[in-house]
Every structure is written in structure tokens, then in C-alpha cells.
Amino acid sequence: MEVEPSVRVTIDDVARAAGVSRQTVSRAMNGKGEISASTRRRVLATIEELDYRPSVFARGMRTQRAGTLGLILSDIANPFFPAVARGVFDAAAAHGFSVVVHNTDAHAGREAAATREILDGGAEGVIGFFEALGDDELVALHRRLPLVVADRRAPAPDVASVSSDFATGTRLAVEHLLAQGHRHLGMLDGAVGVDHVRRHAFAAAAPGAPIVTGPPTLTGGTAAAVQLLREHPDVTALFAFNDLMAVGAVRALREQGRQVPGDCAVVGYDDLTLAADLDPPLTTVHTDKYELGSTLVEALDGVIRARRAGDGAAAGPEHRLLPATLVVRRSG
């Protein structure tokens, strides 16, 4: 296989070809002024002609920026995240960023490792679905690198956050179940980490109702449902941490011969793409996941710009709560 000699065309080549200096080429690219329109056009033309691409390494060395963002999430295989990621990718591309993704499995060690990787990798900012790291660790990270936390309350007022409105989302779900006549609710919690908005909202809306915690996965949902049903056989309605756990719960209920929603209603959270095509169609709380992703990027971009500008008394970072609505289908 013929491997190209890999003769990189450098800024000096362009300068030579255009009959100007390196610096002028640099100015032409970065549009910082100090250059006449005519030479600018000429330089740009020769850049095009020689197919010159600036080296990210050399540039990063001077500027410390590589044009990449880090995206930290627990598990891309959980269908919730791809939908968000799509929004992140599109918005990032619109801003000229590439995105490097890290899975953590909500494991504190891996979350820390991922942040280190991203830090070392020269990214300009991080979007993080952190589930295990503590607030102080996030604040420390934010001192080193622009950060936006996702689906979690901000660890400090000065770090940006974008999140589904979990409080009203779960309240809506619980109220719906209550309105349906259910008197014995239960929750399948998947928050292995530190943030418990959904759990608290559930506890507030359904005082005394049992809560079982497990991993926020399909099998986790099954296991949690089995346990909850064993300890509280009278439960007739389940609110799950997310749709995946809800599906797992449906499996558990079926296994035990209970009809859904006849014997036990199930409500999820996320409104996955296939939620309407499940058996039964899943009642769930909807938040625009694509918008969540793109909003995260916008917020991060704001933080990055602010920090570049010298920070100072910049307008405070964003703290967005994305609307959550209940989508009633047949499962509950």
C-alpha cells in the first residue's frame, strides 16, 4: 500500500508561495485585522491552492486550544444519551468544535479519569453528566477548564448547568398516577450517585411510598422491580428513574404474571424514541433531548468566551431547566 511521503505543507510554504511572511498568512487565516483585503484574498487563495491545513499541534502549543470539547456520560448505550449527544454534536459542529466522548458507567474513578483525559487532551471545555463525583470535585475541575454540568444541579453558582426539570416532571408523573386512582405507588430509583432530584420529588409527591435503588439499566429495572414487588406486593403503580428501568420493570411484572397496566401501571422518564412502540406503549416524562444537547453546548460556549474575555464581572453562567411534560400512553 502506497503510503504518502507525508510532506506537510506548512505556513512557511504558503508564505513563500504568496510572497508574504508567515505572520501575514496567520493574519489572513485568523482574521485579526492588520492586513489589507487584497493580500488577504491572495493568501487565502494560495492556502486553498496548496491545500494547506494548519497543524493543530503547533497552533495548540501557542494558543492552548484545540477546537475540541469533552462529553462525559455514563453509558452511550443507554438510548437517552445518544439523543442528547446528537444535539451536542450538531451544535458543537456549528461552533467549530469536535467532540470527544467518554463513558464512565457512573463510576467515580472513571469520571475522574475521563476528566483527566480530557484535560490532558487539550479540550477547551467539558460537558458532563456526572453521577458520582462530588460537588467540590466539579468545582475544582471548573477552575481548570470551562464546564457545564448536565442533568444535575450546579455544584456552585458560578458553574453553568442545564437540566431537565426533574422536579415538575416527576411531580407530573406522580400526580397522573394518583389521578388514575392509584394509592400504592413505588419508585425504581436509578440515581446511584449524588443527585437525587427525582427521588426527592417523588418522596414529596407520594409521601411514604417505597423506593428501591438500582443501576439505571434495563436489568437494573427488572431487579429493582422484583425487589420492590417482593417487599411491597400491594403496589399498583411504578415510577421509574428512566425508560430503560421502566422497560425492565415491565419485564419483571410480566414474569410475575401481572398485567401492565391492568395489575400495575408503569411510568418512565426520558421518552425514548421507541417508547411509543413498546408493549405496552410507555407513559413517560418527555424532555427535548436534542435541545438539551444543543443548549449544553451553547452554555459551554458562553463560559468559554467569558473566560477568554478575562472573566471578571462577566454575566453569570447559564442555569437552564428544560421543560418536562408528561406523555400519557398505555402503560400507566
Residues of this chain that bind its own copies (CB under 8 A): 1-4, 6, 53-58, 60-61, 64, 66-68, 75-79, 81-83, 85-86, 89-90, 93, 98-103, 117-122, 142-144, 158-159, 218, 247, 250-251, 272-274, 277-281, 307, 311
Name the residue nearer to DNA (CB basis): 125 or 169: 125
Count CB atoms within 10 A of the CB of residue 302. 17
Contacts of 321 (CB under 8 A, 6+ apart): 163, 164, 165
Q: Which stretch binds DNA (CB under 7 A): 29-37, 77-85, 184-192, 287-295?
A: 29-37
Least Å distance, CB 270 to its own copies, is: 12
Least Å distance, CB 259 to its own copies, is: 14
Name the residue nearer to its own copies (CB basis): 167 or 216: 216
Contact 30, 96 (CB under 8 A): no
Name the residue nearer to its own copies (CB basis): 174 or 226: 226
Of the candidate residues 17, 46, 52, 192, the single one contacting DNA (CB under 7 A): 52
- Distance, in Å, from the CA atom of 93 to the CA atom of 100, rounded to the nearest integer, reads 12
Give, in degrees to the nearest 5, the angle at Cα 170 between 168 and 171.
60
Look at residue 29 and give the partner it binds from DNA, its own copies, none, a contact being a CB closer than 5 to 8 Å depending on partner kind.
DNA
Contact 166, 189 (CB under 8 A): no
DSSP 8-state secondary structure symbol assigned to residue 318:
P
Look at residue 36 and give the partner it binds from DNA, its own copies, none, a contact being a CB closer than 5 to 8 Å depending on partner kind.
DNA
Least Å distance, CB 283 to DNA, is: 53
Contact 47, 29 (CB under 8 A): yes
- Distance, in Å, from the CA atom of 69 to the CA atom of 127, rounded to the nearest integer, reads 8
Name the residue nearer to its own copies (CB basis): 210 or 280: 280
254 binds DNA (CB under 7 A): no
Of the candidate residues 1, 2, 3, 38, the single one contacting DNA (CB under 7 A): 38
At residue 29, φ and ψ (nearest 5 deg) are -75, -50
Helix (H, G, I), strand (E, B) or coil at 135: helix
Look at residue 75 and give the partner it binds from its own copies, DNA, none, a contact being a CB closer than 5 to 8 Å depending on partner kind.
its own copies
- Widest CA span of the chain, in angstroms? 84
Name the residue nearer to its own copies (CB basis): 99 or 194: 99
Least Å distance, CB 208 to its own copies, is: 31
Give, in degrees to the nearest 5, the angle at Cα 107 between 201 and 101.
100
Which positions from 55 through 94 interact with DNA, judged by CB under 7 A?
A: 55, 57-59, 61-63
- Distance, in Å, from the CA atom of 9 to the CA atom of 53, rounded to the nearest integer, reads 7
4 binds DNA (CB under 7 A): no
Strands of the sheet containing 237-240, edge to edge, are 211-213, 185-189, 237-240, 265-270, 283-286, 325-327
At residue 164, φ and ψ (nearest 5 deg) are -65, 150
Name the residue nearer to its own copies (CB basis): 79 or 210: 79
List of residues contacting DNA (CB under 7 A): 8, 10-12, 19-26, 29-30, 32-36, 38-40, 52-55, 57-59, 61-63
